[in-house]
Amino acid sequence: MLSKRSLVGIRLNFQTLAVLFFMLIGVSAYAVDPAVANSDEAISAGKTVFNANCKQCHKLDQKSVGPALRGISDRRPIEWAKSFIKNSQAVIASGDAYATALYKEYNNTVMPSHEFLTDDDLGNLLAYIEYGDKVDPNAAVAGAEGAATGTGAGGGIPTEYLTVILGVLVLVLLLILVVLGLIISVLTKYLNKQPLAEDDQEFISQKTDIGKIFKSDAFIIVVTALVVALVAKTALDGLYSVGVQQGYAPAQPIAFSHALHAGQYEIACQYCHTGVEIGKSANIPSPNICMNCHMHIQNVGGKEGISPEIQKIYDAVDNNQPIEWVRVHNLPDLAYFNHSQHVAVGGIECQTCHGPIQEMEVVAQHSSLTMGWCIDCHRQTEIAAEGNAYYDKLVQLHSDSKDALKVKDIGGLECAKCHY
Amino acid sequence: MKENKKTYWKGLEQLSNDPEFVKHADREFPELPSNLSEEGNASRRDFLKLMGFSLAAASLAACETPVRKAIPYVNKPVDINPSIPNYYASTFASGGDYAAVVVKTREGRPIKIDGNELSPINKGKVNAIVEASVLSLYDKQRLAGPMIAGEKSDWKTVDEQVKSKLASAGTVKVVTNTILSPSTEKAIQEMGAAFGGVEVITYDPISNYGIVKANETYYGQGVIPSYHFDKAKTIVSFGADFLGTWISPIEFAGAYAKTRKISKEKPEMSRHYQFESNMSMTGANADYRTPIKASQSGLAVLALYNAIASKAGAATVSAPKVEIANIDKAANDLWAAKGASLVVSGSNDPNVQVVINAINELLGNNGSTIDFTTPVHFRKGNDARMNQFIGELKGGQVGAVIFYNCNPVYDHPRGAEVAEGIAKAKVSVATNGTMDETSSLVQIVAPDHHFLESWNDFEPKFGHYSLSQPTISPLFDTRQAQDSFLTWGGSSSNYYDFLRMNWESSVFTQVETGGEFQEFWDKALYNGVISANKITAALAPVGDVSAAASEVAKAYKADNAGAELVIYTKVGIGNGTFANNPWLQEMPDPITKATWDNYLTVSQSWAVENGVTMVEENTRKAQITVNGKSLIVPILVQPGQAKGTFGLALGYGRTKAGRVADGVGVNAYDLLEASKGFVNFDITSGVEIAVTADTYKIARTQTHQTFMGRENVIQEATLADYKQDASAGRYKPEIYKDGEFVKPSKISLWKGHQYSQHHWGLAIDMNSCIGCGACTVACQVENNVAVVGKQEVLNRREMAWIRIDRYYSSDAAADDLTGLEMASENPEVTFQPMMCQQCNNAPCETVCPVAATTHSSEGLNQMTYNRCIGTRYCANNCPYKVRRFNWFKYHDNKDFAGVNIAQNDDLGKMVLNPDVTVRVRGVMEKCSMCVQRIQAGKLTAKREKRKVQDGEINVACAVACPTDALVFGDMNDPNSKVSQLLKIEENSTSALKEVAEERAYHVLEEINVSPNVWYFTKIRNKEKNEA
């Protein structure tokens, strides 16, 4: 979810890494059981298992819904860990003291059973837990800095600079005006002291008639033109904003917080929005997806009882009554947009269009979703062509060019790419 | 489940279907039209005021964005993902009309039907009726639940009443059209067991009983064989429209087309003779077509028999002498192709069919092109038994009658008597899905599901099976008819279990030797079709031709002076079952190009004699009287109509089909006669035709007859010429430039495009296009093309993106321009599918003032509706006339609600393709080369990080085409089928491809608009080109 493509992502990445850095200093004193495999294959296979089954509630080095997992092989025997993962309730029921204490510590939150995991899966999972995604604190900081400078260089001249430059220019022009005025007055004074012909004298001492200027055709035309231009600009801007709902943040039937789920717990977007990599619609999750976690998590912040908001999910499931969410992002019918093209093929981050969703308590429309906005991005975005044989020929034909292969170069600005 | 699907879809697919949104759209400008209509003399000021108001209203309406909901499933089914289509193998069957299909569903609703490529019968192909059948699912006039005596009821009451009534009724008869389903037959028998047995009485509206009866006398078994047109080098057909309507037209069209494909490597094609009265689609494709009177048809068959018999050294039969062109020629060709020829007849007269059998025996076709080892089940109707039954029904001898999805009151010649008899039966039940002519007369209606909601099995041919499965939860409170039968018979099993059990004990044991049934079942359901490796015994003649021949000699006359009426079936409307489908009503007839009507086809000479002239759509009406029954029908002058004969199509004149079909045309079933023991479609005596003073307009999409000798449009050659020179018939225009003549493509105003990745192209073989129109309906379904109704077709405003131009030849001299407009008395016919040619130098693009039509980097001419302001300059500048303008808002408009049902009510809209915009008033539209499919196909390839494979992206018309006349693909890919066909060798990115295929040409090549659609010359297997 967090990569170097979005500014927001980088900031968060940096924060997370910083937290990790301090945590690692504190908790890194443990010894990994030598029985846990330490091969790359095992770790990457274990990561898949972890992401699919554990990530919603566990982190490696941090307490989340459940405890931080790294070091488990030091704290408990491997066999215990495996049987607990497979069926924690059975272990607790067997009267195991450690398990019972753990259960109590985490507010009697039930961890679902994972009987379907094979012994190999569990071995890989433990390998990942112990060795996976370990960050060398020094490297982390360096990496984050590198990324930060990287974006600074790549952005071109930022708009703030332009404003400053404009301001300076105006200042300089004003100065020139003042200086010119001064020069005129000095010259007039000087000339007045000289003996001159009457005509010349009259010319020098003539006064500017401001009223005449106001009444002059040129002035009226200029002012009228300015007023018309301003009115037209305002009207046009107004018309352009018709139907644009940037910032639209309607109240939803359930006060679902992305800040909590995507931000604090870092649940991957795709976990709930299952269609985002395969189809046109990203999909609003159906309550059965919510229930994967909320079967066990009934309230926020470790409070007792059932949260009234979570209760709404239970009601929907019990009454077989679908939840009527309010659509936030509405494209007109005439525009075809496909999530999988952008996310799976283009590798675009969710946040690029949807903004810092992981900070939103209530989802708001971040981008304008106008055609100009789409087109701008298509002009600037490079094709993620690497490793994708579909683009081979296009890349080859484009190889003479100095510029990178962008969406616009392969027909990304054509009408029938979105309108049909 | 059902509720979930519906609500979910409404929520997420707000595109066009949300009722709230629709309401909003309707209310946008309520005052404007009404005010204008109130004041007949509204001043300019009023107009400006209204303009101002509407502008303000428009901005206001736009500001108030309606709140849209997104409603997910409560419990999402694993395999349904919004926006991702699912495909299910299933089967279309209506009576004996059959096609194995693949149904495309979106969010749980079927939206498109294609052929199932695994089927050995229709081989992935469909026809217009099958394509259109998906719309009948969403017909809001389907019965929403069971009815008793015309009042709504519930299933419990219905079951109780039917059970008790059947028990006391005495005899129980089930009347049906052909049942292809072995399990259904079994279910009916199960029901019968509870009431002392039922008799199933089968009739077919389009009867082929003559063949069954003839085979019973001649071969000892009343079966219809498989016909292998693909193995035939010479084909002779006496009035059998085997490409359009005869027995199994999709299968035959595919097989026939195989013999018509021609290339340098295989410069051979079949020769096809047709002897017929009406100009049928099959006749239009024949190499030699002879118009004959219906009264002569039997004698023509006898003449052919005698000609063949004398060659074979067999005994000839005595027959009145008759002069019919091409009989001897046909006999010679047949004899030369012994064992690889085929003679068929559309006659329903068993005696004629016996002679046909004898001819095929003399030619040794039985066992090669005629296959009795795999008999077909498409027509099981028994005209004689049905006739007898109607007598019993009328006589009050029938206790209980159950009509199983059939409508004899409408589609049987003695329908009126059936109607009378129903009242006399103690119990009458129908399972029909709508309140049609028959079901509205019965006591109890127990409506069946639509076939897309049903489980069923089929055995279309001996040893070949297929399954149909539900692709949507039932929309209404209907119940599968087989479930009704089982319930009434007291069985507690549901039909699905019954079907499975039946398959476990029958089909499974035939196909598999061991293994798990579940595995077999899953595979059969997934594939949709399965064939047992079994055949039945071949048949040899047991009868004799002489008796039949003498009957034929007696019954037919060489020279009948009176008018003859030949009643035929249209390719689009068929037997009238699907008449209420507006897609079919608006599909132009392949030959007459008429929509929304049936009419009396008359010969040109008769029209001249009787002073009937058809100027464009304007015509006169005639009164036709057949043995006392008379009808008033419009006249259509038909080139190729045999002199003295008149044609009239079945399937029209419905009275209770629904809002679309009611009152369209006249019912020709009334004129058929059933007295000879078979339904006779050729009325050769007692026919009187009188032209009336009434004028009428027939809505035709093409009113000109010939191509006026323009060889830049139609290019054709004979087979002999083609063999000598592959470019025979090609017209190669040259343009004078700088002292020499050069190809038009060498001179261009444009710089030319570069297509770096794809270059989409379409190759159309005019030799295999039979003109059936399946492509036009497929396009309509795929692209949400509006139906506009008869009046708008008359106004030349039909919306079809692809049309099939039908041209007759003329025998006038090249400089006789008036004469060239007139078709020959028996013309040659050419079909030319015409759609946007996706020009590389597109004339439309240069004239659009707002750049709403532009060129893509893949060779497509793009049409952007939201940019179009409706100047129509593009349409004016299009040399192919393929652009369509939305003169009205055809969706959500009560003026079009009666015809454009797919875009007007909530139920109908469920058939729309969600990936294609529904266009509004005032914008231009045209063929997009199914750009939504191209985009989807490319996206799949990108996601899978690979190149696009040839064939995975295909346009709807080419997919539907039963003869593979249209081939679509990437011309930048040298290995694609289209590149191979066109022989594009070099792999260039240029828009101008060097095409080495000699037959390929561009229509209107001299104007160098450089289309991406290529046509292949039409080759006729004739001695010489004659008009």
**Tens of pLDDT, residues B877-899:** 999 999 999 999 999 999 999 89
8 Å CB contact of A327 and B70 = yes
- Do residues B424 and B394 lie in contact, with contact meaning Cβ atoms separated by under 8 Å? yes
pLDDT tens, residue by residue, B386-410: 999 999 999 888 889 999 999 999 9
The mean pLDDT value for B622-649 works out to: 92
Using pLDDT thresholds of 50, 70 and 90, give the confidence band for residue B43.
low
- Examine the domain organization and report whether A277 and A354 are in the same domain: yes
Residue type at position B627? N
The average pLDDT across B243-254 equals 94
Per residue in B701-757, pLDDT tens?
Answer: 998 888 887 888 999 999 999 999 989 889 999 999 888 999 888 888 888 888 989
Out of B78-92, B481-495, B680-694, B702-716, pick the least confident.
Answer: B702-716
CB A375 within 8 A of CB A413: yes
Sign of the alpha-carbon torsion through B791, B796, B802, B808 = positive
Using an 8 Å CB-CB cutoff, list chain A residues near B75. Answer: 286-288, 317
Predicted confidence band of residue A20 (pLDDT cuts 50, 70, 90): very low
pLDDT at A239: 86
Which band of pLDDT confidence, cut at 50, 70 and 90, is reported for residue B475? very high
How does residue A46 score in pLDDT terms, banded at 50, 70 and 90?
A: confident
Most confident of A52-66, B806-820, B932-946: B932-946
Residue in chain B lying closest to A344 (CA):
B943
Residues A402 and A306 in one domain: yes
Per the prediction, chain B carries an average pLDDT of 89
Q: Of A409, A415, A417, A418, which to mutate for an interface test with B (greatest number of B Cβ within 10 Å)?
A: A415
- Average pLDDT on B135-164 reads 91
pLDDT at B677 over 70: yes
Question: Which whole-number Å values give the CA distances from B887 to A206, B596, B797, in the listed order?
Answer: 70, 20, 8
**Interatomic CA distance for residues A250 and B593, integer angstroms:** 54
pLDDT at B47: 65
Nearest CA in chain B to A389: B946
Average pLDDT score over residue span B659-684: 89
Q: Considering only CB atoms, which chain B residues are within 8 Å of A312?
A: none
Q: Are residues A170 and A279 in the same domain?
A: no
Nearest-by-Cβ selection for B915 from A288, A324, A336: A336
Residues A89 and A220 in one domain: no
Task: Please state the rounded mean pLDDT for residues B975-987.
Answer: 87
What is the C-alpha to C-alpha distance for residues A412 and B869, in angstroms, rounded to an integer?
Answer: 23
* Sign of the dihedral through C-alpha B42, B48, B49, B52: positive
CA distance A151 to chain B (A): 28
**Cβ pair B862:A416 closer than 8 A:** yes
Q: What is the mean pLDDT of residues A137-155?
A: 42
Tell which phi-psi region holds residue A283, choosing left (phi > 0), alpha (psi between -120 and 50) or beta. Answer: left
pLDDT of residue B17: 52
Q: What pLDDT, on the 0 to 100 scale, is given for residue B184?
A: 94
Q: Tokens representing A359? A: 């900070």
Contact B757 A393 (CB under 8 A): yes
B301 by DSSP, 3-state: which? Answer: helix
Look at residue B697 and tell me whether its pLDDT is greater than 70. yes
Q: What confidence score (pLDDT) does residue A143 get?
A: 41
In this complex, the residue of A284, A340, A419 whose CB is nearest that of residue B72 is: A284
Dmax (CA) for chain A in angstroms is 120
pLDDT at B56 over 60: yes
Q: State whether A167 and A148 are in the same domain.
A: no
Instruction: Indicate whether A402 and A316 sit together in one domain.
Output: yes
Pair A170, A262 in one domain: no
A248 in any annotated domain:
no
Q: Give yes or no: residues A135 and A229 share one domain.
A: no
Interface confidence: ipTM more than 0.90: no
CA angle A309, A311, A316 (to 5 degrees): 105
Residue A222 falls inside a structural domain: yes
Which residue of chain A is at minimal alpha-carbon distance from B944? A388
Report how far Cα A393 is from the mean position of its chain's Cα atoms: 32
- Judged by CB atoms closer than 8 Å, whether chains meet at B81 and A419 is answered as no
Q: What residue type is assigned to position B571 of the chain?
A: V
Same domain, yes or no, for A45 and A134?
yes
Residue A14 has pLDDT above 70, yes or no: no
Q: With pLDDT > 90 as the criterion, what percentage of chain B qualifies?
A: 68
- The tally of CA atoms less than 13 A away on the side-chain side of residue B229 is 29
Between A15 and B122, the more confident residue is B122
Q: Per the CB < 8 Å rule, is B72 touching A389?
A: no
How many angstroms separate the CA atoms of B233 and B691, rounded? 44
Q: Count of CB atoms within 10 A of residue A14's CB?
A: 18
Dihedral, B894, B895, B897, B902 alpha carbons, nearest 10:
-110
CB contact under 8 A, A420 and B8: no
What pLDDT does B35 receive? Answer: 40
Output the pLDDT for position B154: 92
- CATH classification of the domain holding A90: 1.10.760.10
Predicted local distance difference test score (pLDDT) of residue B1026: 55
Residue A156's pLDDT is 54
Residue of B882, B164, B264, B182 whose CA lies nearest to B464? B182
Residues of B in contact with A242 (CB under 8 A): 59, 62-63
Instruction: State how far the Cα of B198 lies from the Cα of A336, in Å rounded to an integer.
Output: 57
Query: How sure is the predictor about B55, in pLDDT bands with cuts at 50, 70 and 90?
Result: low
Query: Considering the domain boundaries, does residue A1 fall inside one?
Result: no
Tell whether the model's pLDDT for residue B805 goes beyond 70: yes
Does the pLDDT value for residue B700 go beyond 80?
Answer: yes
Same domain for A194 and A235, yes or no, is no
Query: Is residue A251 domain-resident?
Result: no
Nearest-CB residue to A324 (from B71, B81, B935):
B71
Confidence (pLDDT) at B34: 40
Q: What is the mean pLDDT of residues B1005-1026?
A: 88
Chain A residues close to B11, C-beta within 8 Å:
322, 324
Predicted local confidence at residue A158, as pLDDT: 67
Instruction: Name the pTM for this structure.
Output: 0.82
**CB of B602 closer than 8 Å to CB of B636:** yes
pLDDT of amino acid A28? 44
Count the neighbouring beta carbons within 10 Å of the beta carbon of residue A321.
14
Whether A399 has a pLDDT exceeding 90, the answer reads: no
Query: Shortest CA distance to B618 belongs to which of B700, B691, B705, B696?
Result: B696
Domains in chain B: ranges and CATH? 2-63 (no CATH), 147-206+381-527 (3.40.50.740), 224-376 (3.40.228.10), 561-697 (2.40.40.20), 716-1020 (3.30.70.20)
**A187 and A141 share one domain:** no
Cβ contact A334–B4 (<8 Å): no
Chain A residues near residue B856 by CB distance under 8 angstroms: 411, 414-417
Q: Do A419 and B858 touch (CB under 8 A)?
A: no
Q: Give the residue, B23 or B543, on which the prediction is more confident.
A: B543
Range of the domain at A146: 7-152
Residues 6 or more apart in contact with residue B786 via CB below 8 angstroms: B799, B886, B890, B891, B896, B900, B903, B919
Q: Measured between CB atoms, which of B74, B862, B948 is closest to A317?
A: B74
User: Do A270 and A359 share a domain, yes or no?
Assistant: yes
Find where tokens 């087979």 sit: B719
Q: Would the pLDDT of A278 be above 60?
A: yes
Does residue A369 register a pLDDT over 80?
A: yes
Residue A299 has pLDDT above 60, yes or no: yes
The candidate with the shortest Cα–Cα distance to B639, out of B697, B592, B571, is: B592
Q: What is the pLDDT of residue B132?
A: 94
- Asked, for residue A2, whether it belongs to a domain, the answer is no
Count CA atoms closer than 13 A to B1011's CA, side-chain side: 23
Per the structure, the count of domains in chain A is: 4
Q: Which residues of A are less than 8 Å from B756 in CB distance?
A: 393-394, 397, 410
Length of chain A counted residue by residue:
420
Q: What is the residue-averaged pLDDT of chain A?
A: 82
In chain A, residues 347-406 whose CB comes closer than 8 Å to chain B: 387-394, 397
| Of residues A145 and B770, more confidently modeled | B770
Residue A6 confidence (pLDDT): 40
Cβ atoms of B571 and B589 within 8 Å: the answer is yes
Q: Cα distance from B915 to chain A (closest Cα, Å)?
A: 8
Instruction: Give the per-residue pLDDT at B231.
Output: 93
Residues of chain A contacting B845 with CB distance shorter than 8 Å: none
Give the model's pLDDT for residue B59. 58
User: What was the pLDDT predicted at A140?
Assistant: 43
List, for residues A170-224, the tens digit of each pLDDT value: 999 999 999 999 998 898 888 888 887 777 777 777 776 777 888 888 899 999 9
Contacting residues of B for A334, CB less than 8 Å apart: 865-866, 917
Which positions in chain A touch B22 (Cβ < 8 Å)? none
> Closest partner residue to A390 among B70, B84, B941, by Cβ?
B941
Last residue of a domain, one of A152, A171, A187: A152
Residue A270 has pLDDT above 50, yes or no: yes
